[in-house]
Structure 1
Amino acid sequence: MNIERKAMELQLNSPAISSSSLHSTNRLAETSEQISSGQRINRASDDPAGIQVSIGLTREINENAVGLRNVMDGSSLAQIAQGGISKITDSVQQLREISLQAQNGTLNESDRQSLQKQADELLAGIQDTIGQTSFNGQSLLNEERDINIQAGDSSTAINTPDLQSTLADQGLFSLDISSANALDSIDGAISLLNDSAGSFAGSQAQLDSVSRSLTDASVNNAESRSRINDTDMAKATSEHSRALIQQEVAISLQAQANAGRADVLALIGQ
């Protein structure tokens, strides 16, 4: 009777030992995957709530990356426009110097004609610069419009001027450098150019601010996602070691149970 009771005990304990071994094996595989991949969440079932938060953070990170590229393009556009305006301003400043020289009463007509020729060459160069200053095929200085730079849900408008028209209205392109009103036309042109340069500089400053905000947001989101997704190596390693020990213990107990069962069956069979 005692032998039969012992056999029943071994049969009852064996499933518990197998269940413990299976649990240890599963946990061992799970921690091994976490350690090797560096990810705490390798499938949705690992953490359903966490994976949803992680997906949302990844979406925001990707959107910020696109927005940041857009902002960098906008910043490059503003820099190119400012470079073109700076070149034009330098030429207009030279025109002013030539006009001051041409209005000197000691010069003769030949001298003034020579200075006018220099002025005309500068004016032609200014018109070339206006026509050639562009970004990705879009003219920046001879068409008045807004170029929207999209950054996430918000956008920044860069206002482009029509310098060809405004400087022509100022009388710059029909300039007689010897005339009494030449300096007025030139000074008015310089004022217009300064306004345009200031507008582009303001847009660039705004884009720089947006760029910093997007970068900070991306860093914060990446850190948050990392806390959710990344494996805590110390914890995973500890749990891996514990699962390994539990598995070894379960295997040892199973082996002892099998050996005991074999002994009992041998006695019963006698």
Structure 2
Amino acid sequence: MNPFREPPGVELGPLAVGLDQAARRALEALPSGGRLLEPSSRRASHTLGALGSLCLTLILASAIAARAAGWTPRSPLGAAVVVVFVIAGGLALAAILRALDAPRVQHTLRGDLVGRAARRVLHHTAVLARRAERRPGSFNQHATSSLQTCLHQFSDPAIATWIPDDVRGRAELLLARALATNAGPHWAQDPSLRALILAHLEAAAAHLDHPEPAQADLRRLLPPPDSELPASPVPAPAALTARQPPDDTAAAEEAAAAEEAAATEEAAATEEALAESNPPTDHVPLRR
């Protein structure tokens, strides 16, 4: 294997996510007439009133504490502090009165207009989903941008109530897979694109009725946590030393040295035996 070869890209699931069928089921439940309650802003008024009550309570507590301590504004700085507290108390009281005087009658919207707007978005989403399922190769950047626009329109307060969470989750899943497909096999190396696709996959897993496909893509994209990896015991240094195999080179050298010493001793013993069996004799010259 070539060590300089690029790592393989991360592949997500197919573009067929069942968005077409889910959008068609949502189309059947859209209103076609009547009057619908407009999304209320009552929660904002309640929050503002709660903040005003808290601020007014703190101002009254400060005034009681100053009165108990016998503090009186005898300097320009003290007078400025009193003026600031009076203005803050007036603003807090105004916030409380605004929350109490908020209109209790909710506005209504025409059901046919709401249904028409939601039907337009869901129909466009179903067309894009059908194209992704039947011709995934033609689901280009333009189609991906159109799907992203549909997702933004899902958040419109007027039609958000009529968009099921499962439809939103399938659209998020299709958008994440389409972004990865159009970016090429090495899209995961782009940090910004990787973060965008990861956000869409997490949103899909949160909205889907059956989040297994989105969770499978998340497992492909994210490394497993350290807690799920099998813990490998680290042996002690003594155990490592005891388990090390003997050095074959050193053993061979020791064996060769022993053989050489034995051969040297044997040769010396042989020479001594020959010397003892053949004693030296005087040289006698031969006569002619």
Flag the structure with higher helix content.
1
Task: From the CA coordinates, give the structure whose radius of gyration is larger.
Answer: 2
Larger strand share, 1 or 2: 1
Is TM-score (shorter-chain normalized) higher than 0.5? no
Normalised TM-score (structure 1): 0.27
Which structure carries more relative contact order (alpha carbon 8 Å, separation 6+)? 1
